[in-house]
Chain A
């Protein structure tokens, strides 16, 4: 082979390599895609101290939603098919790392919208940046009340921030103040008089504990609150303190997330504090991952936990499909934050199609406000926003751009190694599956 022939071959090869991505952009099976792609940023925790398990599940759900949308020829805007690309930012569960990730998503990756966020601290730290840069955002897991209120707390009793411009932040996870009442009302219905609240020292744990304490104390319940740091492994000294209390608590309620909640629950059970005939154990919704729960909390039978998100028996077709895909990928039931992340991508995609634009933030926000869409967790809509700016008297500020219908239930295991699918829903009564509002340890419903 002479040198000229070699150059021709090499040139052809290089041209083919260069053309591969162009071809991929231009055609994907039956779809003809536009040259430009729409980019959505996924802000999730993928490193400690964040909840890595949560972050990975959310990332999977976001990418799964994007690949489904692309398989249906992407986002259709003005007759064009736009491929959806996901760029992932690792928040590490920390506000400053979250801000750095958002800065990169906005300035370097030029994202058109953002979804995700697991930790409230990250949501609180990044929402102003996202809002200032006009990025339509749908948060899928932070619970802190001020996330969707987004500073509106200062405007209490007045028309919301619409006066200052467009609010780009939406939330489809519940606010802590939507979750707290369910657990508190359940405990009150059981007649508790002394409750120990163990709360993580974060923007989720502290406000949630304050809210639940206020509700319990208003009902005449004596509350002792203990704070713990996420990542702590040994809780025996502080649990010994509970054991030393002159009065045995009627319930121990954990407002602690991740593997920290698993360690705490197991140590509490090992020491014989709860669950017992005298003391109700209310652990974190992480217990819904039954394989992980039983693997790490073997003594945790009869613990109750709050479940946010639709319960398995009420899954619609999309929820069932998503759950099947998640089980195939991870061998576990799909968690609510993965379902919410999946839905968040669809909400944004739908809004862009309705708005007829992927770059006009104001129109996209207006389209999100007008959302009426059935997705994996149910029907999505937003009662309050620029389309309906006057919050009625008594409506909390966090209802602004807040999906009002996340389902919150209290579930309880009653058999060792039981699947979450078979765990009893004990509260609210309307969702009860075993005709009982509490299964006393040692008994069956």
Chain B
């Protein structure tokens, strides 16, 4: 082992295993002198100590020691991810790059994942233990730690909490990254010293576009949660929202210019509410005419009807738009005149510099718009009577009706709102992409992946799912060993996530079990 990397030596001194051991030993003492009800479990404190010490050294341990209130699931998760990342960096440097990944395939990897996923759930059922999440944990555990997962889960059949999943998932991801780094030493995602900047850039790309994806997916999940149907017109509603915004901006600017005699260009931000109102009405009217009979028992084959009628609605919108707007690509003006935001390059050590990180100006703005709109929707759903009524209808239509909520109106509202959200994301994106009448096709496919990943019917799930899909696509395209194929497979990376979620956790991250 030859350590040539100054940064690595620095880390060994300033953080790493030494501080991890210290943190594990030190942190349980924060319980001293506290009433039993205020105490934090020793295991949690030890984990927090290891994570904080390993990743951030004395700073991390100090933070948790003096502010134990910070020891929460979110901080621990962030710590675990950071620890996994840092330790993978360490391994890349100290492991012999010629180590065959065959060894990993024998000791862990897919074979053990399959075996664990097959046997462990059976064992849980045999002893009548709580088998929730066991399949996922078994697969992740087998993948990450091989036969050891049997040792952990077979006899004691512990209840599988979310923390289990995070730890096992992080371990698996860490192993993949390490193996990847060993075999692709020149890949920009692992080649020091630039890889930290590059990974940050790609993660930022993913978060920005992911937040934008989320907005569209949220509409889809809202319709599903209340009505139990998947709208196949969602892509076209997204598309037509962009067009409504575009033509409003075009004609509105012309009218204002004529009235004032000066050249006036309306900012695309104003196109968003216009598209929202028009498409909300479109969606609500469509629901009243074509979906209401379905809920009133006038349609025999409800599922098939819902698919076909929304498909038909989508085709109608697409081809009407093609006839009116034509096939020529359009694009609205910029939201902001800043072409890109740049975090300048910073020299940290002689060998290591961080940056520059570039984010396209309009994308950053759209991301903020998307997140604000999603939080506004969450506020509406959580804090207003109508929002609560929508949620109540999504949980139990009959019970909601008993309390005075009109489920028919809630259906119309949900479809209108869902359509409106698609249109708003279209109106937010028309300054970013070339807009054509079939632009929704790619986006809607991704939305299905996002809502399944986040959990059908879950708004926070859609937000998180969008960001995950964005990051996975960005890192997949950016880190693929063959640059030539990386871009071509971009959409496929999201589909891999889709397949894994369906296989391991069909309810998604925040989805409810069907009762």
Contact = CB atoms under 8 A, between A and B. Distances in A.
Interface in A291-333: 291-292, 295-296, 298-299, 330, 332
A226 B434 contact: no
B331 A229 contact: no
B360 interface: yes
Contact of B478 (A49, A238, A267): A238
Interface in B459-491: 473-478, 483-488, 490-491
A244 B474 contact: no
Given A48-B438, A52-B438, A263 B487 contact: no
A244 B201 contact: yes
A270 interface: yes
A48 B444 CA distance: 15
A232 B198 contact: no
Given A227-B485, A229-B491, A240-B198, A296 B434 contact: yes
A226 B483 contact: yes
B207 to A, nearest CB: 12
A219 B476 CA distance: 33
Contact of A56 (B327, B331, B478): B327
A237 B358 contact: no
B442 A232 contact: yes
Q: From B202, B327, B442, B485, name the one whose CB has the most chain A CB atoms within 10 angstroms.
A: B327
Interface string B173-199: 000000000000000100000100010
A259 interface: yes
Interface in A197-256: 198, 201, 224-229, 231-238, 240-241, 243-244
Contact of B490 (A53, A55, A224, A232): A232
A272 B331 contact: no
B251 interface: no
B360 A238 contact: no
Given A48-B441, A236-B474, A263-B434, A226 B329 contact: no
B339 A226 contact: no
A263 B360 CA distance: 13
Nearest to B331: A296
B436 A244 contact: no
Nearest to B208: A236
Q: From B201, B328, B483, name the one whose CB has the most chain A CB atoms within 10 angstroms.
A: B328
B340 interface: yes
Given A52-B438, A53-B327, A238-B477, A229 B340 contact: no
7 closest A-B pairs by beta carbon, nearest first, are A48-B438, A238-B487, A52-B327, A237-B477, A53-B327, A237-B474, A296-B434
Interface of B: 188, 194, 198, 201-202, 205-206, 209, 322, 326-331, 334, 339-340, 358, 360, 363, 433-434, 436-439, 441-443, 473-478, 483-488, 490-491
Given A226-B484, A235-B487, A240-B478, 10 more contacts: A55-B327, A231-B442, A232-B490, A234-B209, A238-B477, A238-B487, A241-B486, A272-B339, A295-B329, A295-B330
20 contacts: A47-B438, A55-B327, A226-B486, A227-B488, A232-B487, A234-B473, A237-B477, A237-B486, A238-B490, A240-B198, A240-B478, A241-B478, A244-B188, A244-B198, A263-B434, A270-B340, A271-B360, A295-B329, A295-B330, A296-B329
